[in-house]
Structure 1
């Protein structure tokens, strides 16, 4: 059983839960079919680079009468290739007649495999029974470089850059091949109207490059939509002018 211990960034994750009624309920349980009050995860998408960690507060709110028979409640966290147990302790009541259990989950990428990225499941359990579940995402961070040139542009422009994703196992960012990168023409800052001008596929070491007729003086940006295991990312914005426009402006 893995228990992570270090923390750098603290966020909050509330386990919004699907419920199953226990065999016996206390008399002051107002709704045995819904012992958990309406809460939801924040955030529901954790993104981590290499050599990073995040400590997350896990809490479950409900009616005291519904929880009165629970001893040693805990949250079981199921990642694709590991399992983590988060012990819970009773905290301050969130409302009159309510009860809150809370614990601390720390996700440390030095403890993870790259294949652990994706959907993780939180399962609230007590006395050997599973009462509720909630899923959230833990994804590998990505970076995207971008350049449009040469400047000032005459007839054709080259869009080029590199897409990299975090390798938790190797503790570094690495280029990724075979992913789609969109090149957008953004329009004016005051009234942006993004339009796709190219759809490119990354090659060896995550590089991409395309030479095409210049769409015109404007701001350009590359974007990557991400996957279930890798976070989406946008590049810096590159303002590019045609040679004619550069001459007019005195550039």
Structure 2
């Protein structure tokens, strides 16, 4: 071991990252984190206006990025995004799948079509991106980092979560399965399991004192998550510092699962 080895452990300068769900709270945090660390970032999501706004903001900071509109559950869209990334940046090194959705509802009230939409967004979209990017990583023969977004809800059940919780448990097992499948190619596959993080969908929990206080009884650190809390583990899993970690889920939850 030498100083250069240690100094370069977290270096992702020049690496190429695809971030799906890039306009959501967690996808956006990961995109900024990768870009500020010197990676070249392909931003992708379904809403053009939000993607353009994020792209313009990042470019104004002098960061290297591009964007492509695409629906992660449409295979031709995924093909287009991956091909555009290779054309723009010359390859792919990192995939972070942050696209997904939730709509909590009692099973007796949830339409089958809504359950299927949650499963498609959380599982099918991730599976398609892993399949398409995995092919590129294998052909490049230089390894790679695949980071999936799970949830504490994939570990614990919850009332009205018979779609979301099973979908995130599936993400955990997808990471394990792909880790076994791709280890021989030097491709690491891991998942990140956040608890409640600040976003447009969860802002009410930050302002509702009763709901927040009740939830915080399970979080030893004593607060809910902020997008900035997500960046460190993303960059760690994207870097060589995590080269001997694969097939696991790292929970970024303030100790929620410890309680």
TM-score, with normalisation over the residues of structure 2?
Answer: 0.25
- Higher gyration radius (CA): 1
TM superposition score normalised by structure 1: 0.25
As a proportion of its length, which structure holds more strand? 1
Higher relative contact order (CA 8 A, sep 6+): 2
